[in-house]
Homo-oligomer: A and B are copies of this chain.
Amino acid sequence: MKPPAAPRRVTIVDVARHAQVSTTAVSKVLRNAYGASPEMRAKVRRAIDELGYRPLAAARALRGRTYTIGVMLPDIRNPFFPEILDGVTGCLGDTEYQVLLGPGCNGEKEETRVTEAMIDRGMDGLVLVAPVSSRVRLEHIASVVPTVVVGRHGRSPAYDTVTNDDVAGAALVVGHLAGLGHRRIAHIEHHETDPTRSAEMPNARRADGYRQAMRDLGLAEEIDVVSTSYTQRGGHQGAQELLARPERPTAVFAGADIVAMGVLEAVAEAGLSVPDDLSVAGYDNTTFSALGPISLTSVDQSGREMGRNAARLLLERITDRSKPSVQVTLSPELVARRSTLPPPA
């Protein structure tokens, strides 16, 4: 069984010939550009339909747009990111733009590879979700192609940002737990080495927010932070460490839902139960947190809304590359569920 040969692609020349006009005319119709009469447009449209013509993005790239938006997600497993993606595609759905994603990239090296690949493929704009690259690198990217950074603080003239107020979000969780009567509230954070990123990354902000809120509530001495990573594995390790403490915390604020998943796993392994032995809260309000057997208290930062904003800002910047940069900050909301209760007496 041999596969059939590839059919030749219909080009703009075929359309022009079929419609008895020039390729210029076809190009103008395609782009709704100025300088084509209604009759001309109709003629060309008909030829396009009859031949089933679609412009080759690669060829367009050499002269103009590719009508492609690249979205870089750090971790495809984190159920929060699809929310952002939905927002982006939702906003771009009615436009000619097509969204393409990079594969999940862990770390700076992979991130560079993916962003370079997107630039090399002539993408018209980039949405970078929680990038870990240096500021210089981000500004370089933004100087080459319109860019919106989602989920990372730090204003730059080169790119727009969309974030949620992570400090406030962390305070919501700590306030909720303290309100239930907890005092020994621990936090599992994503370990950060780079000082610049410390100031800009959401994980660092959440940790700061946690510390600040603990202090404000007079619980400064109970501050207990374990540094692992924002993955299920990281949550598992962090929880193991916390459960081994001589005096166990009564509540854990995991920096992300995916971290909380790992915590739940470790707690079950230790023969303990949530929330009877330990209250657990996450961040992101992913679809899994709502699941019956999980029912995780979490913070909703409305990823959909973030994605929508990112897409909107990107389209604006593609239209006018020199407009001043914009920073959008959304307010998080607490969603209390069954994984948090007053501490055991």
Q: What B residues does A117 contact at CB under 8 A?
A: 57, 68, 98, 100
Q: How far is the CA of A321 from the CA of B268 in the complex (A)?
A: 51
- Check A89/B103 contact, CB under 8 A, given A66-B58, A261-B288, A274-B293: yes
B288 touches A268 (CB 8 A): no
Q: How far is the CA of A79 from the CA of B291 in the complex (A)?
A: 15
Q: How far is the CA of A6 from the CA of B267 in the complex (A)?
A: 52
Which of these, B3, B98, B99, contacts A322 with CB under 8 Å? B3
- Check A116/B4 contact, CB under 8 A, given A292-B266, A292-B267: no
Q: What B residues does A56 contact at CB under 8 A?
A: 61, 120, 122
Q: What B residues does A57 contact at CB under 8 A?
A: 58, 117, 120-122
A287 interface residue per 8 A CB criterion:
yes
Q: How far is the CA of A293 from the CA of B159 in the complex (A)?
A: 42
Which of these, B62, B99, B266, B293, contacts A264 with CB under 8 Å? B293
A7 interface residue per 8 A CB criterion:
yes
A292 touches B269 (CB 8 A): yes
B144 touches A261 (CB 8 A): no
Which of these, B9, B85, B114, contacts A104 with CB under 8 Å? B85
Q: How far is the CA of A265 from the CA of B289 in the complex (A)?
A: 11
Which of these, B2, B265, B321, B322, contacts A324 with CB under 8 Å? B2
Which of these, B5, B59, B121, contacts A62 with CB under 8 Å? B59
Q: What B residues does A76 contact at CB under 8 A?
A: 76, 82, 85
A290 interface residue per 8 A CB criterion:
yes
A325 touches B3 (CB 8 A): yes
B55 touches A120 (CB 8 A): yes
Chain B residue with the shortest CB-CB distance to A119? B54
A102 interface residue per 8 A CB criterion:
yes
A2 touches B322 (CB 8 A): yes
Interface size class of A (residues with CB under 8 A): 35 or more
Q: How far is the CA of A323 from the CA of B238 in the complex (A)?
A: 51
A33 interface residue per 8 A CB criterion:
no
- Check A116/B322 contact, CB under 8 A, given A76-B85, A82-B77, A261-B288: no
- Check A101/B98 contact, CB under 8 A, given A7-B143, A287-B232: no
A136 interface residue per 8 A CB criterion:
no
Interchain nearest-CB distance for A68 vs B (Å): 7
Which of these, B61, B68, B82, B120, contacts A54 with CB under 8 Å? B120
Interchain nearest-CB distance for A103 vs B (Å): 5
13 other A-B residue contacts (CB within 8 Å) besides A3-B159, A77-B82, A100-B117: A3-B142, A5-B143, A6-B321, A7-B143, A55-B120, A58-B58, A58-B122, A68-B121, A77-B79, A77-B287, A98-B114, A266-B292, A268-B295
A-B contacts, 16 listed (Cβ < 8 Å):
A1-B324, A4-B143, A6-B145, A7-B143, A9-B144, A58-B122, A62-B62, A77-B79, A77-B287, A89-B103, A98-B113, A98-B121, A101-B101, A232-B291, A264-B292, A293-B293
Taking Cβ atoms with an 8 Å cutoff, the residues of A that contact B are 1-7, 9, 54-59, 61-62, 66, 68, 71, 76-77, 79, 82, 85, 89, 98-104, 113-114, 116-117, 120-122, 142-145, 157-159, 232, 261, 264-269, 274, 287-288, 290-295, 321-322, 324-325
